[in-house]
């Protein structure tokens, strides 16, 4: 948190670097919502770390006044976890795209979810590899045509929400870059949550997969009577893909990974480890 009495505005988190995304890119809306959430929570930039991977979203740390780490392809989560373990007092945010997070980085996602570090992971999901000229991604729909699939994609897309709920994440939600107010609220909730928070943001790529006309008619809110404490209900809702439902799907309170590590360290410090001589004696 910032010092009491110090005014923090969304622009307080802007750097001198200007985003070079294509005009109309959904990532602008995600970045603006992130600024608003940081300001609303009064996060001190000196206590904030933004970690990214490769892709259009990978540039995000350069646009946020904080410590930043632009990691290699698919390695957002292990780097973010390392930062959090090294200094648990930091606010750590991971940002990436659907290719970075669900393809080459897909092996890290289940382990981050089950370990439950206090990290917020925001995925800017445009269902294409925008930076490398629009190839199909793990979330591209069947029939998606691009340079890599000129006759249409034949693979079923992943369901990120169902996947992460199954993995054991303790906060799962979905937003849309075209609804910045609602997205700001969702990101704020995710950052306030103590544990692994996953926010999948539908963020259209205006250049290679412009979904601005087809997405809005499919949008709907998570039902007001939805039980966000029920993992089964959250999974059931995530499987209903006729609509793209925005809001909180699931939230659970569980000890964080860094809390568990701290307990292990305490136990280790309180115990009397065997002397080297006794260990060597076992093998002599």
Query: Distance between CA atoms of 155 and 226, rounded to whole angstroms?
Result: 31
Question: How confident is the model over 30-48, as pLDDT tens digits?
Answer: 999 999 999 999 999 999 9
Q: What are phi and psi of 6, to 5 degrees?
A: -85, 125
Residue 249 phi, psi (nearest 5): -95, -40
Percent above pLDDT 70 for the chain: 98
* pLDDT cut 90: percent of the chain above it: 87
Report the distance separating Cα 141 and Cα 234, nearest Å.
Answer: 22
Structural domain boundaries of the chain?
10-254
Whole-model pTM?
0.93
Q: Domain 10-254 carries which CATH code?
A: 3.40.50.970
* pLDDT over 60 (residue 4): no
The reported pLDDT for the residue numbered 121 is 98
Q: Are strands 128-129 and 135-136 parallel, antiparallel or unpaired?
A: antiparallel
205 - beta bridge partners? Answer: 209
Local confidence band at 268 (pLDDT 50, 70, 90 cut-offs): confident
Query: Given CA atoms 165, 255, 78, 35 in this order, what sign does their dihedral have?
Result: positive
């Amino acid at each position: 948190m910032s010092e009491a009495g110090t005014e923090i505005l969304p622009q307080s988190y802007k750097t001198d670097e200007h985003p070079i995304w294509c005009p109309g890119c959904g990532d602008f809306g995600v970045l603006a919502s992130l600024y608003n959430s940081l300001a609303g929570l009064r996060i001190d930039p000196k206590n904030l770390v933004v970690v990214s991977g490769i892709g259009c979203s990978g540039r995000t740390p350069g646009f946020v006044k904080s410590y930043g780490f632009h990691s290699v392809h698919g390695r957002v989560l292990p780097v973010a976890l390392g930062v959090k373990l090294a200094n648990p007092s930091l606010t750590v945010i991971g940002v990436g795209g659907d290719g970075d997070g669900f393809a080459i980085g897909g092996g890290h996602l289940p382990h981050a979810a089950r370990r439950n570090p206090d990290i917020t992971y925001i995925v800017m999901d445009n269902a294409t590899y925008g930076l490398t000229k629009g190839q199909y991604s793990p979330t591209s729909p069947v029939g998606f045509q691009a340079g890599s699939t000129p006759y249409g994609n034949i693979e079923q897309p992943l369901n990120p929400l169902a996947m992460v709920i199954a993995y054991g994440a303790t906060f799962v939600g979905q937003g849309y870059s075209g609804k910045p107010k609602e997205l700001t609220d969702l990101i704020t909730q995710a950052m306030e949550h103590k544990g692994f928070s996953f926010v999948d943001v539908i963020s259209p790529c205006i250049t290679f997969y412009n979904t601005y006309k087809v997405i809005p008619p499919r949008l709907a809110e998570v039902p007001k009577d939805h039980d966000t404490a029920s993992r089964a209900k959250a999974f059931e809702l995530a499987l209903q893909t006729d609509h793209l439902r925005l809001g909180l799907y699931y939230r659970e309170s569980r000890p964080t990974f860094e809390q568990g590590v701290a307990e292990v360290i305490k136990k280790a410090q309180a115990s009397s480890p065997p002397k080297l001589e006794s260990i060597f004696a076992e093998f002599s």
